Amino acid sequence: MKTCKLIQKVLLSTLVSYISISCSNDDSTSEVIPQEVKGKFVISSAPGTGSLGTGTYFLTVDGLDSGTDAIVENSNAVKTTSSFTQIVVNNSSTLMGFIYPNGSDLGQGQSGARAFKFGTDNKMVELQGSPFPTGRFTVTGSFGNFIYAVSSTDNSYLFERSGDNVTMMDKPIDFESHKIGEEKATITGIADRGNNEIVAAFKYASVDEAVVAIMDYNFTIKSVIQDARMSYSGGQWRGAVYSQIASEASGLTYVFSGAGSGNATTKKAGALKINKGENSFDTNYFFDIETASGGYKFRKVFPVSNDYYLLEFYNDTTNTGNTANATRYAIVKMSSKEFKWVEGLPAYNEISSNGWPLAYEGKMYLPINPVSGKSAVYVINPVSGNAVKGFEINNETEQIRAVSYFK
């Protein structure tokens, strides 16, 4: 009897051990922990003062918070013969550089664009189908899976990538049905609301009001709304127009008016709001940014994170034409209407220009090209408004045109 009980205990112990081992093995083989894919940063640079016609160089780096290197003379850099006045990156995967007629490598007087992807060798590779000769364009940007370019006339283009190919579609917009008097609108910026819907800033030269159109991704106009509390949205430097409208992940849209770039309005530079799902301006919201800044008007608007934005201001309160210098920078928090000048950058009169910045993980990476000295990327904390120098070019003979992130 004792022997039977002993045998039973041994068998039971063996069975439990087998089950335990089997379960353990099942757990170890079925549990797969995904590895985070680490992206890379690309610095776009041009030789000398960045004049058109000198080409663009792309260098891949691991980070922008520190480091120093040459780009133009770097054997790891990739060169394209085109000089870009505007650089747009969509979905951290496709870069499009836009070519101004002056200094164009597509032929003198020929506007156009080139499209690139981030290759498996960690270098920029031009996509099939690129380059694209186009008509004149003024403002560029992205929404959904598209990159766009539209003009002050009737040119409007959508670029879409599929694999290693990119295609261009000419998309006419029905401005004719939305005239004010005999005047047709021009688009000065676009914000992506998601769900196949965008908000486009309209400008009528004779209308001193904010006007926007609710449209779908095919540029079909659903409705047009306007507000007399501020002037039209959009900044400008010579022939280039800069979008001053942005939508957030929460679904609301901010429409800014810098009230500069040759705008003769007497209305304050500021911002209005369109709430999520609404097709009208919030009558209870207006941010008087001009008064908050001490009387300055602004040219460019860059989303940073949440409802923080980086604004590029004109240097003088009176000289705000479309060729005036604009090298002052401030952070605004839209929900609470907070304003702070960025501290830690070179003095405004020591800055020649800035490159296209990158918003990444809650910070803004702003390329600064000085009047004299080395170009560098400054890392701006939007909460504190403080900037610190990050990556720096190791020579004084090239400028940073843009910084981008790819994954």
What pLDDT score does 151 carry?
Answer: 86
pLDDT in tens, 372-387: 999 999 999 999 999 9
Output the pLDDT for position 108: 87
Rounded Cα distance between 332 and 309, Å, is 5
* pLDDT tens, residue by residue, 325-362: 999 999 999 999 999 999 999 999 999 999 999 999 99
Residue 16 has pLDDT above 70, yes or no: no
Angle at 96 between CA 93 and CA 100, to 5 degrees: 170
Predicted TM-score (pTM) of the model is 0.90
pLDDT given for residue 152 in this prediction: 73
CB burial of 137-156 (b: ≥16 within 10 Å; e: otherwise) equals: bbbbbbbbebbbbbbbeebb
- Is residue 273 within 8 A of residue 266, CB to CB? The reply is no
Fill in the amino acid letter for 350.
Answer: E
Instruction: Look at residue 5 and tell me whether its pLDDT is greater than 80.
Output: no
**Average pLDDT value for residue range 194-211:** 96
Using left for φ > 0, alpha for ψ between -120 and 50, and beta otherwise, residue 306 falls in: left
**Degrees to nearest 5, angle at CA 147 with 170 and 297:** 110
The pLDDT value given to residue 17: 40
Tens digit of pLDDT for each residue in 96-123? Answer: 999 999 889 999 899 999 999 999 999 9
Q: What distance in Å separates the CA atoms of residue 234 and residue 238, rounded to the nearest whole number?
A: 13
CB 42 within 8 A of CB 406: yes
Of 29 and 43, the structure prediction assigns the larger pLDDT to 43
The model's pLDDT over 256-275, given as tens digits with 9 standing for 90+, comes to: 999 999 899 999 999 999 99
